[in-house]
């Protein structure tokens, strides 16, 4: 296996709610994935690994494809850097430093 799949990667924004501490809080992750199911699985993996959450406690509302230029997530900007540069740069506002 060369690590490449037949599907081209796309950027997805996965939103939902999960128990962070004693409250359920909304979350949003931008991830590169081949399809929305793969993006959902990746978010389950992130939340399970970082926060020790079980899949049944995570409620995912949407997994929508987004334009990579609108994301501020470093993994999206890195994965789609050539495509973003070819289209004239990011559309997301740059965060101001204080």
Q: Tell me the pLDDT of the chain (98 aa) as tens digits.
A: 445 555 689 999 999 999 988 999 999 999 999 999 999 999 999 999 999 999 999 999 999 999 999 999 999 999 999 988 888 877 756 565 55
Which DSSP category does 9 fall into? P
Q: Which tokens belong to 49?
A: 């690994």
CA distance 40 to 89: 27
Looking at 3.10.20.10, 3.30.429.10, 3.40.50.300, 3.40.109.10, the CATH number of the domain 10-86 comes to 3.10.20.10
């Amino acid at each position: 296996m060369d690590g490449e799949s037949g599907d081209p990667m796309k950027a997805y924004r996965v939103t939902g709610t999960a128990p962070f501490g004693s409250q359920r809080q909304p979350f949003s992750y931008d991830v590169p994935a081949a399809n929305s199911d793969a993006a959902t699985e990746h978010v389950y993996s992130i939340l399970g690994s970082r926060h020790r959450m079980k899949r049944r406690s995570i409620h995912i509302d949407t997994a929508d494809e987004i334009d990579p230029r609108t994301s501020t997530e470093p993994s999206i900007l890195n994965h789609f850097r050539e495509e973003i540069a070819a289209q004239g740069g990011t559309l997301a506002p740059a965060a101001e430093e204080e």
